[in-house]
Amino acid sequence: MIEKLKCNIDDSLLQVMSVINMNAKGIAFVTDNDGKLCGIVTDGDIRRIILQGKSLSIKVGTVLAKDYSYAVDGDSYESMLGKMSERVKMIPIVDQDKKLINYFEYHTSAYFPVSTPNLSGNEFKYLFDAFMSTWISSRGEYITRFENSFSAYCDCKFGVATANGTTALHLALMALGIGTGDEVIVPDLTFAATINAVIYTGATPVIVDIEADSWCISPEAIEQAVTPKTKAIIPVHIYGQACNMGAITDIASKHRLKVVEDCAEAHGAKYRGQKVGSCGDVGCFSFFGNKVITTGEGGMCVTNDAETNDRMRLLRDHGMSRTKKYWHDVVGYNYRMTNLQAAIGLAQLERIDHIHQKRKEYERQYREALKGGVMNFQNDIENRDRITWLVSVVLDKNVSRDDFMDKIIKNGVDARPFFYPLSDMDIYKDYCKTFTENTHNVSYHGLNLPTYESMLDIDSIIMRIKEVMA
């Protein structure tokens, strides 16, 4: 960010205005050719200069005020706070040679959310195009384009767009013939939609523990839970981490089980170089507002099996015959996505590599700044390419997660607790036959930190977390 605030003493006022316009902070720090700080210009300063009748082509160096506030690297938070005023909300930080290295910004009421979508690419263009075409319902070219591009991104032949991630899971299970009398194995650490989708089908969920290191469903626990009634497994790639798909698909083929991957938090993650969603029978994704890419609400099933694809399409569209309009051979659903959502999704997908890169970079900065404290960041596991969804940490046992979370939220940084163990909730507890030690160790000590593409204020976020840690 500091680069975006910088301009040179020889720049014209017009160039400075352009810098201010780009950084959207209303301010620029002026440096000489050695990178040393010479002054500060705000958009208000430029407005006053124009009103004085001066030209925008004059050099900024000729209009700099003599005195301005700045901090020196190492200054305490209190000392920097002391330089803030009604008018000054942001100051540069220099090193011992007065070279500009950073800035400090005070937010009176700023509140950093855990997540916020970034729609700065072709999102509006495509959405507007879909709108103008009047194909605003669930037919239109963006649906096909989004389905084709997203399934290709997942190394799958087919994609079936749905209303949301939960309907994607339900649709996949129904298309695979899961129903009453069947058992479906799910992890204890997941969002409730995973188990709810199983319950919708009439099948019985069987909750098992996770691996201590990856936080994903444990293959050993799956193996122990298999009975003659077991029909499917739902591995959940939790917090961007891929499950041990090798072991899971081995168990599945041994016992002839279906595998429905819940990829709602892991778009683009890989197991042994293979994209999640393409390892099992069907991969289910969510495009909710806080997911890696979003369509507002939305989801998708991806598969390499033509028959499953046909079945999912049929069930998604009311189970209506493809050849005979208003003729129904099965009870279907309306689980479709609209063309408007798909237009946004397509634009998001165009930028997914950039989005991943940004999220990774923020995770790196969190790790670097907060290491050695009470936070244990998510593990990297051999042969699994994790993505960063929401930066996930487990706090040391002697720290109260809820207290810690309360404090950072009070300090303006939002956070989320990890999912509670499903087995601790009254409505699900009977589906779990064993105590899930790993889930309990992780769930009650874990939290997610703000992570989103346009998190320019990461330095302030880290500073606020550090204040609580101190």
Ligand X SMILES: *Cc1c(COP(=O)(O)O)cnc(C)c1O
Residue 262, interface with ligand X (CB under 6 A)?
Answer: yes
CA distances to 19, 44, 55, 107, 364 from 52, in Å: 21, 13, 9, 31, 47
Residue 281 burial (C-beta neighbours within 10 Å; 0-12, 13-18, 19+): buried
Residue 432, interface with ligand X (CB under 6 A)?
Answer: no
Q: Which two tokens stand for residue 347?
A: 């634009």
**Sheet containing 71-72: which strands, arranged edge to edge?**
71-72, 90-94, 100-105
Residue 194, interface with ligand X (CB under 6 A)?
Answer: yes
Stretch that binds ligand X, among 9-17, 46-54, 164-172, 240-248 (CB under 6 A): 164-172
Q: Work out which of 191, 335, 404, 452 binds ligand X, going by CB under 6 A.
A: 191
> Would you give the binding string for ligand X spanning residues 90-129, x where CB under 6 A is met?
----------------------------------------
Stretch that binds ligand X, among 74-82, 175-183, 186-194, 357-365 (CB under 6 A): 186-194
CA-wise closest residue to 316 among 334, 340, 298: 334
Q: Which two tokens stand for residue 183?
A: 């058992």
Q: How far is the CB of 121 from ligand X (least distance, A)?
A: 21
Cα first-last separation, the chain: 25
Query: For residues 232-251, which are near ligand X according to CB under 6 A?
Result: 236
Q: Which residues pair with 92 in a beta bridge?
A: 103
Query: For residues 285-344, which are near ligand X according to CB under 6 A?
Result: 286, 288, 299
Whose Cβ is closer to ligand X: residue 290's or residue 308's? 290
CA-wise closest residue to 353 among 390, 387, 303: 387
Stretch that binds ligand X, among 47-55, 132-140, 185-193, 204-212 (CB under 6 A): 185-193
Residue 388, interface with ligand X (CB under 6 A)?
Answer: no
Return the residue matching tokens 């979003």: 294
Contact 282, 176 (CB under 8 A): yes
Whose Cβ is closer to ligand X: residue 37's or residue 276's? 276
Whose Cβ is closer to ligand X: residue 209's or residue 262's? 262
Q: Work out which of 265, 281, 385, 453 binds ligand X, going by CB under 6 A.
A: 265
Taking the C-alpha atoms of residue 226 and residue 167, their distance in angstroms, rounded to an integer, is 25
Whose Cβ is closer to ligand X: residue 93's or residue 171's? 171
Site residues (vs ligand X, CB under 6 A): 164-166, 190-191, 193-194, 236, 262, 264-265, 286, 288, 299
